[in-house]
Amino acid sequence: MYKKGEPITVLTAHDFPSGHVADAAGMEIVLVGDSLAMVAMGMEDTSEVLLEEMLLHCRSVARAAKTAFIIGDLPMGSYEIAPEQALESAIRVIKEGRVHGVKLEGGIEMASTIKKITTAGIPVLGHVGLTPQRQNSLGGFRVQGKTSASAMKVLEDALAVQEAGCFATVLEAVPAEVAALITNKLSIPTIGIGAGNGCSGQVLVQVDMTGNFPPGRFIPKFVKKYGDVWSESMRAIEAYKDETKSRAYPAPEHTYPIPKAELEAFER
């Protein structure tokens, strides 16, 4: 797809149903992102989620996704100590999480770590630009590459992860023009999120793009809400409640029959 100039479609999933629908809809890559910390576990940010927890979610998605290439995020704390630690975690994500490859955040400083994992035959998806696991040292969720110096830093990070063996890299929250220039300078695909349509593909968080969140919740500027799953779930659950209270549900067609003679004998 990259060679043909065809954009690559990537979507997150965090459990069996979300993995199933992403796969059935034809997503080429399904990412078990550590964003599941927030969207599936109700945590404040991604720093809290454990490798063990990622493994459980990866396994659930892997059971659902039959066609897509599946990537599991290495959570914060599972890969920064040393390349050996990162490889050990990556092997667990493959063997226990049952996915095809891993993603980790960081550029130049992560090159030797990426190399360690790719050398072992595990595909690695890079993640440069805004790296949410480092939000505290980046000063929050901030667009990266808004000055020529910081754009150069994003380019150098992208080149470093390419050199280290990543098969592609996520480019998060980077001005569209910068992301397009970086994409042109690389020989691996860029998967953009908040990085414009000049990337080699796009990734979104599934609950964001399907609108599976309550009204009023903050969503980043780059998210396009393609659906309103929250409203549809609310409508269905409220209707179920109303019909249960009024005894309209269950109707006769939702019940099991018993032969009349058996019922009469039972009643006696």
34 binds Na ion per the rule CB under 5 A: yes
Q: Mind giving me the DSSP string for 191-230?
A: EEESS-TTSSEEEE-HHHHTT-S-TT----TT------HH
Q: Cβ-closest residue to Na ion?
A: 33
35 binds ligand KIV per the rule CB under 6 A: yes
173 binds ligand KIV per the rule CB under 6 A: no
193 binds ligand KIV per the rule CB under 6 A: yes
- Distance, in Å, from the CA atom of 67 to the CA atom of 159, rounded to the nearest integer, reads 30
When binding is defined by CB under 6 A, the residue of 13, 19, 34, 75 that contacts ligand KIV is 34
62-81 binders of Na ion (CB under 5 A): 73
| Pairing verdict, β 124-129 and 190-193 | unpaired
208 binds ligand KIV per the rule CB under 6 A: no
Residue 80 falls in the annotated catalytic set: no
Residue found by looking up tokens 């990866």 in the block: 58
- Distance, in Å, from the CA atom of 257 to the CA atom of 250, rounded to the nearest integer, reads 13
33 binds ligand KIV per the rule CB under 6 A: yes
Single out the segment in contact with Na ion by CB under 5 A; choices: 30-38, 76-84, 154-162, 244-252. Answer: 30-38
- Distance, in Å, from the CA atom of 98 to the CA atom of 237, rounded to the nearest integer, reads 34
33 binds Na ion per the rule CB under 5 A: yes
DSSP element (H, E) containing 125: strand 124-129
| Among 80, 172, 238, 267, the one annotated catalytic | 172
Catalytic residue set: 172
Q: What residues line the site for ligand KIV (CB under 6 A)?
A: 12, 31, 33-35, 73, 170, 193, 203, 205
